[in-house]
Amino acid sequence: MQQKKKNIMVVSFQSLTAKSGAGMARVGYLLSAELNKYGILNKFIVHSKGKYNTPFHSEPVSFFSRYYLFALNRFNKFLKIKQHKLRFIQELLFDWFCAFRIDNSLTHLVATQPHLKRTFRKAKRKGIEVIYIPGTQEDNYMYDIVSEEKRKMNVTEEDAYTYPARIKHYNDSIQYVDKVICTSLNIYNSFVNSSYHGEVIKVIGYLKPEFSPVAINKQPGKIFKVAYVAHTVMLKGLQYLMEAWHDIMKEEASDGMMLYIGGTIDKPVKEYIDAKFDKIKNVQYTGHIADVPSFLKDKDLFVVPSLVDGYPVTAFEAAHYAIPVIITENCGAFELLDRNNSGCWIIPIRDAAAIKKQILLAVADKAGTILKGEYAKHNIESYSTDDFITELSSTLINL
């Protein structure tokens, strides 16, 4: 009996822009473009898209999606629904409409987000193989880490990672997934060690941001400038950086150092930091960073203390500006920065002492720190996202 030709539909919860997509939609976009070359792409389904054409077949999940997304965001100005609950409503709506896209012509469904119980279940009933490409570690793994951290910080407020309805929907959805393709060792290990019973495949690769070329010529300054940038939630680990900085400020050389905290901070984390580190010195909170390059260009060291982070783009941005990175072992980005001559220092999660030690070592050897930043820049500039997408598509073609 002749095998049916592959007909793959790629699905992303995020929206599509004219040239790519936000978040994991960029993976979906690039993968769809590659699969289209082989004539095996059915279509690329996203939550919404503008009035433009892509070089392959792409559609919003529904004609109504851009309207209900607009309405939800508009009404929420008055309803004040928590952001994680609003996102979950959007995920449920996306799943509802996406299920109608499943038909007998498909052989494979590739999704970049897992909260698709109706869609996955319908695909399985029709004999369509379901493949999930996660951008973060396994959801139950993140639930456990955040729950532990909330207990340590005495935080009772609900969030996206511990919202019972969302974690249940994830567990109800993942049972229909045949294969998970993991693009970092951290993500791979979290699924291998989880209760997921399907096949876990490893295809290591990174979505490098599209940087404009920039020449860097760093020289040691009078003030050693340490930077951190994120929309800070508990998983970003800012609390451990602040603990490390608190201890560093007791050192004799501390007057020659400055910590810059960029980005917004969620209320529970802000309250914890304000209560515990309100008198800490040599710290500047800059709030939202509209121009990341301007923020980074004069910094000497970048810290990514995340407890869990798939691919922190800020680590790649720092490397682009030849800034070496202190990064935890639970961040997928370290695998790129640590290639060849390493451009980063890798530390355990939840380890303020390790953060302190590496910052002080970087300050003590400023010339070596500048050199490490050059290695970081080389490692990111010499990496090809195209090669990763080619390998990822080849994996799907050969399944």
Domain membership of residue 219 (yes or no) is no
* Tally of CB atoms within 10 A around 112: 23
Cβ(109)–Cβ(131) below 8 Å = yes
Q: Which amino acid is at 32?
A: S
Are 305 and 392 within one domain?
no
Are 192 and 293 within one domain?
no
Per-residue pLDDT of 144-198, as tens digits, reads 999 999 999 999 888 889 999 999 999 999 999 999 999 999 999 999 999 999 9
Evaluated on CA atoms 76, 15, 327, 181, the torsion sign reads positive
Are 204 and 309 within one domain?
no
Q: What CATH number did the domain enclosing 175 receive?
A: 3.40.50.2000
pTM for the model stands at 0.93
Per-residue pLDDT of 105-127, as tens digits, reads 999 999 999 999 999 999 999 99
Element (H, E) at 274: helix 267-276
SS3 of residue 346 by DSSP: strand
CB-based burial of residue 57 (10 Å sphere; 0-12 exposed, 13-18 middle, 19+ buried)?
A: middle
Are 172 and 156 within one domain?
yes
Task: Please give the structure tokens belonging to residue 372.
Answer: 């490490």
Taking 50 as the pLDDT cut, the residues of the chain under it are 1
Rounded to whole angstroms, the Cα distance separating 319 from 342 reads: 11
Are 62 and 130 within one domain?
yes
Are 244 and 135 within one domain?
no
Rounded to whole angstroms, the Cα distance separating 380 from 301 reads: 16
Task: Provide the residue range defining the domain that includes 68.
Answer: 8-208+384-397
Place of tokens 């300054």: 221
Are 176 and 251 within one domain?
no
Place of tokens 């910080």: 153
Domain membership of residue 214 (yes or no) is no
Rounded to whole angstroms, the Cα distance separating 168 from 190 reads: 18
Rounded to whole angstroms, the Cα distance separating 331 from 281 reads: 28
When divided into structural domains, the chain yields a total of 2
Are 318 and 388 within one domain?
no
Query: Which of 165, 164, 162, 195 is CA-nearest to residue 180?
Result: 195
